[in-house]
Amino acid sequence: MTTTPLFPGFTPYRVPTPDGQHIHALVGGEGPPLLLLHGHPQTSAIWHKVAPALAQHFTLVLADLRGYGDSAKPEGDPEHQLYSKRTMAADMLAVMQHLGHPRFTVLAHDRGARVAHRLAADHPAAVQRMVLLDIAPTLAMYEQTSNAFARAYWHWFFLIQPAPLPERLIEADPGAYVRDVMGRRSAGLAPFDPRALAEYVRCLGLPGTAHGICEDYRAAAGIDLVHDRADHDAGRQLAMPLMALWGEQGVVHQCFKPLEEWQRVASDVRGHALPCGHYIAEEAPDALLDAALPFLLAGR
C-alpha cells in the first residue's frame, strides 16, 4: 500500500555546514523565506499539518537539526561545542544562505526554538522576526527548576548523563522512547499522524541519533548556559519582533511565565497560551495558524 507523503511537492536538499557536516532540509511553497525548526524527539515532519497553509504565503525551509532526522550526527566533543546552540544556529544560517536567503523569518518549536533564540542573538541581521513555540529561555528554565518541573521534564536530566548510559537505553528500543516521551504529555499519542510518528521512530533508530540528541541536551546544560549568561551580563537583548506561544495544558505554562521571561531577553515581544499541550503544530494547527500567520505576514 502506497503511503501519501507528508510534504507532497517539496524538494529535499543536503546542505553543507561550516564545520563539514550537513543539514537535511525540505523546501516548498512560494514567497518570502520562512525557516521552520522542530523539537525533541522529532524531525521536520512536525510541520505537516500547517505547511500547506504556510506554503501559500512563504517559501518554507523545513530543516532537521544536527543530530536529528536525516541531518549529520557527529560524535560529540568533551565541551559539547559541536551541539551548542551557537553551532546549530550557524548550521541554519548556512542553510538559508545556501538557498539564497540572507534574511528570513523563523517559526520554531522546543529545541528548534532554542536554536532560533541563539540564531537571532548571534546573527540579528539575518532574522527578521520569529515565532517560538512552548519554551521559555533556557537559562530561565534551568535557574527556576522546581521539583514539579524536574519530574515533568525528567528527560532534561536523563539525557545529560555521561555517555553512553542514556544513548544505550534509547538505542535499546527507540520506538518505545518516542511513544513514552510523547505519549505521556497531556494529549497522549492521539494528535500524531501515524506517518509522522513512524518518521520519528525511523529517525531515532538511525545510527548516531541517540548520541546527537543527548549531546544537544548536554550542551544546553553547559556551554549554552555560558553563552546565555554572557548575553545577560552584557545586557544584550533581541531587537526583532518576537511572538511566544505556548500550550495552556503544558509544563511550560504550569511552571513558568513564558511571556515575562521572553520580555526579559527581547525588546519587542507579544504572545499568549493556546488551547493545547506541548506539541502545538500537531495538537492545534488551526489555533497556531490563527495566532502566528498574521504576525508572520506582517514582516513581508
Residue 211 Cα to chain centre, angstroms:
17
- pLDDT above 90 for 186: no
Burial of 133 (0-12, 13-18, 19+ CB in 10 A): buried
Give the active site residues. Answer: 110, 278
Are the CB atoms for 99 and 15 separated by under 8 Å? yes
Of 99-103, 143-147, 186-190, the poorest mean pLDDT is in 186-190
* Residue 288 confidence (pLDDT): 98
Tally Cβ neighbours within 10 Å of residue 233.
Answer: 8
- pLDDT above 90 for 261: yes
Three-state secondary-structure class, residue 8: coil
C-alpha–C-alpha distance, residues 300 and 297, integer Å: 5
pLDDT in tens, 49-70: 999 999 999 999 999 999 999 9
The C-alpha cell 531587537 sits at 239
Tally Cβ neighbours within 10 Å of residue 125.
Answer: 8
* Residue 300 confidence (pLDDT): 81
> Percent of the chain at pLDDT above 90?
97
Nearest to 240 by CA among 127, 114, 131, 133: 127
Q: What is the DSSP string of 72-110?
A: --PPP-TT-GGGSHHHHHHHHHHHHHHTT-SSEEEEEET
Three-state secondary-structure class, residue 16: strand
Mean of the per-residue pLDDT values for the chain?
97
Tally Cβ neighbours within 10 Å of residue 46.
Answer: 27
Tell me the pLDDT band of 1, cut-offs 50, 70 and 90.
Answer: very low
* Residue 194 confidence (pLDDT): 97
Q: Where are the beta strands (DSSP E) in 188-252?
A: 242-247
* Residue 3 confidence (pLDDT): 79
Query: Buried b vs exposed e over 20-40: b needs ≥16 C-beta within 10 Å?
Result: ebbbbbbbbbeebbbbbbbbb
Q: What element of type H or E holds 248?
A: none
Nearest to 99 by CA among 6, 43, 25, 20: 25
- Structural domains in the chain, CATH included, are 11-297 (3.40.50.1820)
